């Protein structure tokens, strides 16, 4: 609980990137608005700004106060509008829409999102630390091998060779040292066994060897219980029958074996545990583990009744040394179908899957080979395969050096999992962790994405997680990665679309303002463009479904820039085209559009209306290009996204209504059919232009990296100047 109460307050990888992009765009917008405000003010008050008819707008000493004030207000409005267009206030909306849409869709893939931002973080995951039991395996356990009285039982429930006293002792340990129960129906039907999968497997096997659960438990009374401990990997119970007290232990086979000084022979006599016999048992454990079996050992010891404390029995520490080994069972937990393919899909996507389990290291290796986590032709030794104890005993520096190499960690405690997560995060990884137990909660909390199991997970684990996997299946975890990458890709699409509009609108207005003292796109028009860009654009691009190509890319991790070189290329191609065309029409539009016969005021309005209409249609057609930043066919699957098509149609209809019927409000005029066709044609050109633009090669090194040396050197000069 102390670990869970610590709020690390970390921002997700996407939040860090978005803050950087939003700050950069905002600063550029404010700077440009400041320049425009200054230029327009100087031009206006020095008498260089003219009306469409050629008259000067402001003359010092002649123009009235009211007229001069209104002129200043108009200039301020233009500057403020530029800031509004430049500042990406639609970015949070786009992110939230994308996350909410993905969250709803992920429910169909058996993933319940508890923390919205975890959707996108999962897309940046570079490694997944997965449990074995129940996630990679089915968690349907059965005893398939048993070693008792120094020999292997064949079949595993054939105990005829065991003496009745030895069998009774074993059955007592199974029935009393358990957290499960057995219910026998009155009609004589099959017994109903409850408990954890391991307990159910052992109790079911106990019934096969002749255990009468209720009768055995009634013959002896429980004095004290030591619950199963994930650190010691064992659990014990003290039971009293008549005058004898038996201490029964059950747990990890090699750990229980190490505490045994004797073993039970065929005739029920206790024999000392010699080196040869110990090695035989170790060999049996290794063989079972290599067959991907979970090995559980049973042992007991007698306790003098006088040594049992009369008071404070709750604090009594059960004897756990000098034990007598009763036997060892091997429990089979088959791999989930489809796990091998899911692991291979992760490998192809550049996401490393690591198995962290409390099981024997040999069992962990066998399951990892079966699931495809380990390669049979690869290195299957330390540090790629390591025990939790060895990792725990290393220094923090040593753990950091080998954390990247670890693929399988066996006999790990929950704290080992936490240490591994911390080491991987320090190396720059975005870490996803799966867990189901209460003890997994600190690792789930520490990880960038905590994935709790919905069926077998405890409430504490679920509360500490970001996403709950409802079917406990690893294939569902891979689907979450796919959706996470889709979220990231959709946000990138929106940013490319938004930056294109920003760059084009800013450059057009700045050049027009500096050269003529007026802007072709007025405040109301830019606010409509802002609405298209922010709200409707976000909604259209946020609902793009994930594609198979997403799982063929490498993960973006923590350090890769949000705006990639491919996005910069697409952005510049479209922005340069829009700027060039619209500035040509801004300066020579009257002549090109043959508006010389119109009155100066009407010609100016028609030209500006045409520029506004063309600019909007450029954005509508560029919205299709934003769907597929890397693919040449931008129309692939477009008809399946009904919301996208609906938004494009609604935007087009609203643009027609604005130009044709809301001219007074927008300070524009109606256009004839020929000007409408020219506007649409200029917008359509963005499609072939985008296709050709994708043949332009881009450097591997991010564009931002080219500016870092300059920034660093300027910072260095500044610091040296201060020291001087």
Helices (H), 517-599: 523-531, 537-542, 565-592
Our CA angle for 554, 560, 562, nearest 5°, is 105
Contact 618, 682 (CB under 8 A): yes
Report pLDDT for 685: 94
Report pLDDT for 202: 93
pLDDT reading at 351 higher than 90 = yes
Instruction: Kindly report the pTM of this predicted structure.
Output: 0.76
Report pLDDT for 310: 76
Report pLDDT for 4: 57
For 497-532, the pLDDT digits (tens) are: 888 888 888 888 788 877 776 777 777 887 888 777
406 pLDDT band, cuts 50/70/90, is very high
Report pLDDT for 2: 58
> In the predicted model, what is the mean pLDDT of residues 61-81?
79
Please, what is the average pLDDT of the chain? Answer: 84
Contact 262, 324 (CB under 8 A): yes
> In the predicted model, what is the mean pLDDT of residues 259-269?
86
In a 3-state reduction of DSSP, which class is residue 701?
coil
> In the predicted model, what is the mean pLDDT of residues 225-237?
86
**Candidate from 25-29, 142-146, 202-206 with smallest mean pLDDT:** 25-29
Q: How many CA atoms lie within 13 A of 444 on its CB side?
A: 30
C-alpha R_g of the chain = 36
Contact 548, 646 (CB under 8 A): no
76 pLDDT band, cuts 50/70/90, is confident
> In the predicted model, what is the mean pLDDT of residues 546-556?
85
> In the predicted model, what is the mean pLDDT of residues 661-682?
89
| Cα–Cα distance for residue pair 567/207, rounded to 1 Å | 65
> In the predicted model, what is the mean pLDDT of residues 123-136?
87
Q: Which two tokens stand for residue 721?
A: 């100047």
Q: How many CA atoms lie within 13 A of 704 on its CB side?
A: 11
Name, in order, each residue with C-beta under 8 angstroms of 430's C-beta and a sequence gap of 6 or more: 13, 121, 124, 125, 126, 127, 448, 449, 555, 557, 558
CA proximity to 632, closest of 574, 592, 692, 587:
692
Catalytic residue among 7, 109, 131, 312: 131
Question: Is 109 known to be catalytic?
Answer: no
Report pLDDT for 421: 93
711 pLDDT band, cuts 50/70/90, is very low
Report pLDDT for 707: 60
> In the predicted model, what is the mean pLDDT of residues 12-36?
78
> In the predicted model, what is the mean pLDDT of residues 410-420?
88
CB atoms within 10 A of CB 166: 21
For 271-282, the pLDDT digits (tens) are: 899 899 899 899
> In the predicted model, what is the mean pLDDT of residues 206-217?
89
pLDDT reading at 74 higher than 60 = yes
Question: pLDDT over 90 for what percent of the chain?
Answer: 26
Highest mean pLDDT: which range of 67-76, 248-257, 490-499: 248-257
For 453-472, the pLDDT digits (tens) are: 888 888 888 888 899 999 88
> In the predicted model, what is the mean pLDDT of residues 396-408?
91
Between 256 and 52, name the one with better pLDDT. Answer: 256
CA proximity to 384, closest of 365, 400, 398, 370:
365
Q: Which segments of 378-437 are extended strands (E)?
A: 385-387, 408-410, 431-435
| Cα–Cα distance for residue pair 194/574, rounded to 1 Å | 65
**Candidate from 158-162, 317-321, 470-474 with smallest mean pLDDT:** 158-162
Question: Is the alpha carbon torsion for 145, 150, 155, 156 positive or negative?
Answer: negative
pLDDT reading at 715 higher than 50 = no
712 pLDDT band, cuts 50/70/90, is very low
> In the predicted model, what is the mean pLDDT of residues 36-50?
79
Q: How many CA atoms lie within 13 A of 183 on its CB side?
A: 5
For 355-374, the pLDDT digits (tens) are: 998 888 888 888 999 898 98
Q: How many CA atoms lie within 13 A of 146 on its CB side?
A: 23
For 625-635, the pLDDT digits (tens) are: 999 988 888 88
Q: How many CA atoms lie within 13 A of 715 on its CB side?
A: 6
DSSP string, 34-65: HHHHHHHHHHHHTT--B-TTS-BS--TTTS-H
Report pLDDT for 151: 79
| Cα–Cα distance for residue pair 46/593, rounded to 1 Å | 32
């Amino acid at each position: 609980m102390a670990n869970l109460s610590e709020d690390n307050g970390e921002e997700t990888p996407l939040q860090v990137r978005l803050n950087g992009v939003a700050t950069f765009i905002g600063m550029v917008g404010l700077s440009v608005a400041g320049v425009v405000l200054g230029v327009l003010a100087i031009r206006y008050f020095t008498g260089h700004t003219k009306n469409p008819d050629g008259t000067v707008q402001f003359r010092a000493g002649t123009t009235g106060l009211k007229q001069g004030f209104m002129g200043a207000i108009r200039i301020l409005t233009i500057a403020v509008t530029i800031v509004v267009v430049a500042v990406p206030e639609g970015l949070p909306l786009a992110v939230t829409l994308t996350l909410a849409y993905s969250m709803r869709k992920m429910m169909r893939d058996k993933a319940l999102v508890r923390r919205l931002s975890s959707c996108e973080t999962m897309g940046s995951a570079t490694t997944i630390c997965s449990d074995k039991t129940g996630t990679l395996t089915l968690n349907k356990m059965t005893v398939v091998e048993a070693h008792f009285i120094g020999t292997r039982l064949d079949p595993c429930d054939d105990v005829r060779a065991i003496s009745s006293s030895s069998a009774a002792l074993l059955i007592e340990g199974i029935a009393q040292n358990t957290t499960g129960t057995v219910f026998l129906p009155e009609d004589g039907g099959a017994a109903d066994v409850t408990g954890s999968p391991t307990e159910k497997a052992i109790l079911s096997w106990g019934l096969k060897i002749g255990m009468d659960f209720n009768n055995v438990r009634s013959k002896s009374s429980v004095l004290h219980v030591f619950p199963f401990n994930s650190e010691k990997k064992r659990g014990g119970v003290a039971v009293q029958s008549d005058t004898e007290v038996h201490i029964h232990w059950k747990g990890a086979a090699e750990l229980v074996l190490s505490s045994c000084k004797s073993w039970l022979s065929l005739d029920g006599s206790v024999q000392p545990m010699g080196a040869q016999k110990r090695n035989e048992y170790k060999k049996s454990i290794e063989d079972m583990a290599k067959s991907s079996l979970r090995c559980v050992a049973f042992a007991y010891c007698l306790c003098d009744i006088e040594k049992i404390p009369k008071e404070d029995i709750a604090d009594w520490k059960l004897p756990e040394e000098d034990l007598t080994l009763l036997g060892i069972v091997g429990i089979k937990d088959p791999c989930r179908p489809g796990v091998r393919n899911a692991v291979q899909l992760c490998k192809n996507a550049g996401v490393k899957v690591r198995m962290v389990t409390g099981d024997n290291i040999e069992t962990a290796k066998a399951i990892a080979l079966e699931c495809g986590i380990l390669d049979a032709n690869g290195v299957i030794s330390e540090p790629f395969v390591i025990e939790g104890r060895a990792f725990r005993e290393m220094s923090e520096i040593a753990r950091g050096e080998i954390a990247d190499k670890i693929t399988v960690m066996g006999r790990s405690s929950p704290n080992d999992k936490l240490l591994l997560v911390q080491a991987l995060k320090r190396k720059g990884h975005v870490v996803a962790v799966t867990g189901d137990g209460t003890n997994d909660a600190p690792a789930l909390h520490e990880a960038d994405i905590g994935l709790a199991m919905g069926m077998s997970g405890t409430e504490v684990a679920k509360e500490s997680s970001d996403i709950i996997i409802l079917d406990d299946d690893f294939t569902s975890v891979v689907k979450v990665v796919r959706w996470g990458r889709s979220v990231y890709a959709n946000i990138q699409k929106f940013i490319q679309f938004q930056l294109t509009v920003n760059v084009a609108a800013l450059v057009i207005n700045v050049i027009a303002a500096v050269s003529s003292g007026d802007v072709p796109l007025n405040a109301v028009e830019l606010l409509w463009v802002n609405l298209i860009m922010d709200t409707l654009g976000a909604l259209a691009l946020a609902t793009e479904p994930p594609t198979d190509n997403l799982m063929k890319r490498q993960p973006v991790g923590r350090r890769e820039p949000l705006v990639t070189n491919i996005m910069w290329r697409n952005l510049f191609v479209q922005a340069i085209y829009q700027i060039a065309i619209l500035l040509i029409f801004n300066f020579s539009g009257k002549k090109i559009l043959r508006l010389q016969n119109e009155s100066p005021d009407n010609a100016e309005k028609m030209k500006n209306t045409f520029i506004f209409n063309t600019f909007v249609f450029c954005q509508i057609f560029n919205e299709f290009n934003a769907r597929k930043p890397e693919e040449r066919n931008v129309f692939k699957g477009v008809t399946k996204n009904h919301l996208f098509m609906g938004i494009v149609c609604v935007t087009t209809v609203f643009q027609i209504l604005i130009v044709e019927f809301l001219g007074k409000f927008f300070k524009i005029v109606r256009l004839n059919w020929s000007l409408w066709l020219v506007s649409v044609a200029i917008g359509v050109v963005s499609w072939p232009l985008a296709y050709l633009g994708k043949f332009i090669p881009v450097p591997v090194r991010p564009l931002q990296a080219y500016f870092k040396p300059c920034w660093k050197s300027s910072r260095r000069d500044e610091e040296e100047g201060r020291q001087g």
